[in-house]
Structure 1
Amino acid sequence: MAGPVGTPVPKLVDVSRWLWIASACVGMLRFLEQLLDREMLVAEVRRQNPALGQDQIDANVNGGVLFGLLIAVALLVAYTRLANAMARGRNWARIVLTVLGGASVAFGLFRLLAWSSGVAASLGVEMRPVDLAVTAVTTVLDASAIVLMYRVSAHFRKRVAVDSAVRPS
């Protein structure tokens, strides 16, 4: 994929793009794994509304799984499009990814600190090893992607120069 003015995408920006996509894929796979745990979903619906019959519980779980799949696919597509726009030198995409990634890194660090300090356990929040592993992996991927995006700021300045040269004054 070419960057601004037909120049190739700098290696660090390309790596950043793939880190964003990898992070989104890891998150989506974890989310899908949770959606496939039907027993947990049924138990949660039953806990939230014990008056429901089994048919209603099944309908709620099926609807929730379908909605979850749609959201997961939409997020993966959104991250992929943002990462590709960023690789093409679009500064607005870099800013959006920075905000999303910064929130993800902050949340990931918060989860890891809450687990390591014992705060999560004292509040009754269960964190399974796979949850912690996914949190650690996506936190590292997002932080790395952010750093790499800003290592090649000239790539984004070229795009701004091209955009302002094309627009009439």
Structure 2
Amino acid sequence: MATEPKTLTPPPAILGAFGLWLVSTALGVVTAILVLTEKDTLVAGIKAAGGSLSDAQVDSAATVAITMLVVVAIVFAALYLWLAFKLKAGRNWARVTLAVLTVLHLVTLFLQGAVTLSYVDTVIQVAAVVLSFLPASNAYVAARRLNP
């Protein structure tokens, strides 16, 4: 007689971390949308830097730069969502990957500076990482490893 596999429910810490990763991802999307509104600022910055580009070339360069930033933001949003769902499923590698990405985010923030929204996002990410490594989270991940 076969026994039913035990269904493991994520603890509140993992669910909290999952929710925070969703919020962080949403903030990333909002930031990408805000970048779309900054084309004039980027064009002015390129012109102020000097160079021999025509107005059409500067406009084109700004459009390409903004498009690339938005595409990268969408790719990272999809990556973070996928990792958040894997974290919720108890996958240790996802938890570690999110922690590493958060450290990289912190390093980038301190080296380059950022807008207020980035600082808020960083605090959310750090809180999510802390929640994902609490004892209850560790026990859940270990149990999921034994019962995939």
- TM-score interval, smaller chain: 0.7 to 0.9
Amino acid at match of 2:144: R
CA distance in 2, matches of 1:104, 1:63: 24
Residue aligning to 1:11: 12
Contact persistence 2:39–2:63 (CA under 8 A): no
Which moves more between the two structures, 141-150 or 52-61?
Answer: 52-61
Structure 1 window deviating more from structure 2 (140-149 vs 57-66): it is 57-66
TM-score by length of 1: 0.73
For residues 106 and 54 of structure 1, what CA distance do their matches in structure 2 show? 35
Maintained 8 Å contact 1:21/1:76:
no
User: 1:50 Cα deviation (Å)?
Assistant: 2.4
1:158 corresponds to 2:143:
yes
Decide whether aligned partners of structure 1 residues 74 and 5 sit closer, same or farther in structure 2, where only a CA change above 3 A counts.
Answer: farther
Task: For residues 107-140 of structure 1, give each alpha carbon's deviation from its aligned partner in whole angstroms, at most 9, with x where no partner exists.
Answer: 54x37xxxxxxxx9xxxx8x7xxx1x32331222
Paired AA for residue 102 in structure 2: G
Shift of 1:35: 3.3
Number of the residue aligned with 1:89: 90
1:142 aligned to which of 120, 125, 135: 125
Task: Provide Cα deviations, 1:73-115, integer angstroms capped at 9, x if missing partner.
Answer: 101110010111011011000000111112334554x37xxxx
Matches within 5 A, 1:1-169: 5-48=6-49, 50-108=51-109, 110=110, 131=115, 133-151=116-134, 152-163=137-148
After superposition, the C-alpha distances for 1:121-160 in whole angstroms (9 at most, x for unaligned) are xxxx8x7xxx1x3233122211110111011101111122
Distance (Å, rounded) in 1 between the aligned partners of 2:144 and 2:24: 25
TM-score scaled to structure 2, two decimals? Answer: 0.82
Instruction: State whether residues 101 and 143 of structure 1, in contact with CA within 8 Å, keep that contact through their aligned partners in structure 2.
Output: yes
Asked if the contact 1:15/1:145 (under 8 Å) is kept, the reply is yes
